[in-house]
Amino acid sequence: MKILAIESSCDETAAAVVEDGRKVHSNIIASQVKEHIIYGGVVPEIASRMHIEAISGVVSQALDTADCTYADIDGIAVTYAPGLIGALLVGVNFAKGLALSSGLPLIPVHHLRSHIAANYISHPELEPPFLSLVVSGGHSHIVEIKSYTDFNIVGQTHDDAAGECMDKAARALDLPYPGGLNLDKISVDGDPRAYDFPHPKVTGSTYDFSFSGLKTAAVNKIHNAGQKGESINIPDFGASYINAVVDCLAGNTQLAAKDLGYTKIVLAGGVSANSVLRRRFTDICRKSSWDLFMPELSLCGDNAAMVGAQGFYEFSAGNTADMSLNARASLSIDKYGF
């Protein structure tokens, strides 16, 4: 079964053809990073306009690269939540038009479910149940994946996401967008013990996260140093800061896995590309004799192949939508909003 998938939740216009949730025939991405660098982050209105300009060509290229026509496609999957509402609407409405004109089923896909499904492409042997840490610029979740379409949130952030936390620190250090990626790169040779950062915990919520205090601590250290005329050692500062974020993510996930009895751990989301996070979980799982699954780096960021992977399982479970499908800026990973 071949799924044509569309992704437009933020600043990547993407389309892919994926077979049976595992085999990628094409995965085309039109990135907007260069356009947003000058603003230090994604400008929603600009992102939406650029999606409109790119989406038709990206979808056509995905079909051409896969050597497919609509006669070869069994369904059209699209990210409908969560994300930037204007950006999502471009993809959702384009997919609805394709479904209406072709007569193909329309398959709504949750963005975070897609990030988890990227691992089905990188690791064809992976099957639920397992425990997943999903970390991105807007989300930080520990999720039980009981089946391909049955999700249970174990822990989540009460305020900022881990990716946002890294991006804000990078911006305060005057690093270019995308902040988290550049913070990771510049911190490779830094000393993770050079600067002291808090490790916030949420009282009464064992597996939940809170990153706002950590972000504030970083900004305050930078501002205080500037006021005193002191310099910040950026590699050391970045390494220490990333280490504190990863301590929180890894500690809670490790605890949840032990308490809930999971021995299969899956990383997902844009922050799963972070080198420190990947090394830490590799070490944890090796010592605990757990199986670790991480998406290949090319599938950590937003792409349509992951949408096609999850779309296959949503379609197999009968989760399709009609022309009333709308985009949702926010929606829990364990819910359906159509």
Tens digits of per-residue pLDDT, 139-156? 999 999 999 999 999 999
Global confidence as pTM: 0.97
Provide the pLDDT for residue 40.
87
- One-letter identity of residue 310: Q
Residue 122, H or E segment: helix 111-122
Distance CA(145)–CA(132), nearest Å, equals 7
- Model confidence at 274, pLDDT cuts 50, 70, 90, reads very high
Q: Can you say how many angstroms the Cα of residue 262 is from the centroid of all Cα atoms in its chain?
A: 22
- One-letter identity of residue 241: Y
Provide the pLDDT for residue 42.
95
β-pair partners for 107: 77
Distance CA(124)–CA(262), nearest Å, equals 19
Looking at residues 32-47, what average pLDDT do you find?
Answer: 93
Q: What percent of the chain has pLDDT over 90?
A: 96
**Per the omega criterion (within 30 degrees of 0), is the bond before 178 cis?**
yes
Report pLDDT digits (tens) over 282-304.
999 999 999 999 999 999 999 99
Distance CA(211)–CA(242), nearest Å, equals 12
Provide the pLDDT for residue 8.
98
- In the predicted model, is pLDDT for residue 338 greater than 90? no
Provide the pLDDT for residue 211.
96
- Model confidence at 181, pLDDT cuts 50, 70, 90, reads very high
Share the mean pLDDT of the chain: 97
Looking at residues 302-309, what average pLDDT do you find?
Answer: 98
Provide the pLDDT for residue 7.
98
Report pLDDT digits (tens) over 202-230.
999 999 999 999 999 999 999 999 999 99
Distance CA(87)–CA(89), nearest Å, equals 5
Topology of the domain comprising 2-116+299-316: Nucleotidyltransferase; domain 5 (3.30.420)
The answer to whether residues 237 and 173 touch, using CB atoms and an 8 Å cutoff, is yes
Q: For the structural domain made of 126-298, what CATH number should be given? A: 3.30.420.40
Q: Is 181 left (phi over 0), alpha (psi -120 to 50) or beta?
A: alpha
- Model confidence at 239, pLDDT cuts 50, 70, 90, reads very high
Distance CA(163)–CA(110), nearest Å, equals 19
What strand order describes the sheet that includes 23-31? 23-31, 12-19, 2-7, 75-81, 106-110
The answer to whether residues 68 and 19 touch, using CB atoms and an 8 Å cutoff, is no
Fold match flag (2-116+299-316 vs 126-298): yes
Q: Is 21 left (phi over 0), alpha (psi -120 to 50) or beta?
A: left
Provide the pLDDT for residue 206.
94
Rounded (10°) CA dihedral 172, 175, 180, 181: -170
Provide the pLDDT for residue 184.
97
Provide the pLDDT for residue 164.
94
- One-letter identity of residue 281: F
Tokens coding 268: 């997902």
Distance CA(157)–CA(138), nearest Å, equals 10
Domain boundaries, the chain: 2-116+299-316, 126-298
Tokens coding 127: 């099957």
